[in-house]
Amino acid sequence: MAAEPVTGLILSGGGARAAYQVGVLAGIADLLPQGAANPFPVIVGTSAGAINAVTLASGALHFAEAIRRLTGFWQGFRSHQVLRSDWPGVVRQASRFVGHSLLGLGHQVPVALLDSSPLRGLLSEHLDLSGIGHAIEQRHLRAVAVTAFGYESGQAVTFYQGRGAIDPWLRHRRIGLPTRLSIDHLLASSAIPLLFAPVKLGHDYYGDGAVRQSAPISPALHLGANRILVVGVSGNPRGPADTMPHARVYSGQPPSLAQIGGHLLNSTFIDSLEDDLELLQRLNHLSHLVPPQDHPQRLGLAPVEVLVVAPSQPLDEIAARHRRELPPALRMFLRGPGATKTSGAGVLSYLLFEAGYCSELIELGRRDALAKRSQLCSFLGLSDPA
């Protein structure tokens, strides 16, 4: 007998790129009947996706209203709400980083190029985490989880809050721990290495959950999901011709620090998710090849239905168009490494917490979701309003 469908939502990391996820969710809300319940019993987020995940879970009793609040939250963004972008703040943090981390001077401080302390106040003001418990009690939510990386343990730790029947798990370099989620968990999960300071949880310091997260889809499956909607933030679609080295146009210039950093960030936030999706697709194919007498459940090969919504336009190009929205101090700080140039806009696409850029990503996400209207309606068991 087939298991009852339990839909999981995976919101990957990516700094300011996570605004795209809000647009996709807004598009899904448009497809739902008025007053519809939360369609995602399991919600998993990493990095900035963790903030979106927990916000959504906190408002699971009123899904459409939660999406409206989340949309307003991102559309009103300014850099100073997330990090110190004034001249004294930028200069002070850069001096601390160079003095302590590179020269070994002064008191020990967490390693970070940017001061993200304003983010704590912003989240404390806008989030009411008590809504998670209410949603779980009324069975509008099975579980919500955020993943962070322990610098000393070397493990990707998924902190989850859900119904009591969900057992913790232990796998190679990844574990699941039941807890009552807090603002600290969100700050830890979204602390991009070197850019934002790690956050102490218990005895260990934690950073962005995308680091060493070899199986991003796994937490949702552990929490009971058997079909998955993934909202990605890769945002660098290219045509088939561009994958061929001879078809590309090369500048002949050595890569800037921002170009290198952009590739490192993409490797952290995007590659592992895409690899995990490819592996899951292979396992699904394998499960269909198993003879009928060897039921997939007994072999641990039960197929998992997966739908992916990802940006249809390159997010780094969108970021490059909005680079002048950055505050002057932050723009000057990022100019040296080349992040304000088109070639280095990959880094900028993660750090551009400004209304114009975030609003364009939200609109792109909404359009991409509605472009997959039929697939989403089929996946969520909705009648297609078109």
Active-site positions read 47, 208
List C-alpha distances in Å: 313 to 42, 161, 204, 310, 338: 28, 34, 38, 9, 22
Closest CA to 79 of 259, 318, 322, 316: 322
Contact 128/58 with Cβ under 8 angstroms?
Answer: yes
Burial of 356 (0-12, 13-18, 19+ CB in 10 A): middle
Which residue type is seen at 133?
A: G
Q: What is the dihedral of CA 81, 86, 89, 90, to 10 degrees?
A: 110
Ordered DSSP codes for 307-359: EEE--SS-HHHHHHHTGGGS-HHHHHHHHTTTTTSGGGHHHHHHH---HHHHH
In three-state secondary structure terms, 8 is strand
Which residue type is seen at 10?
A: I
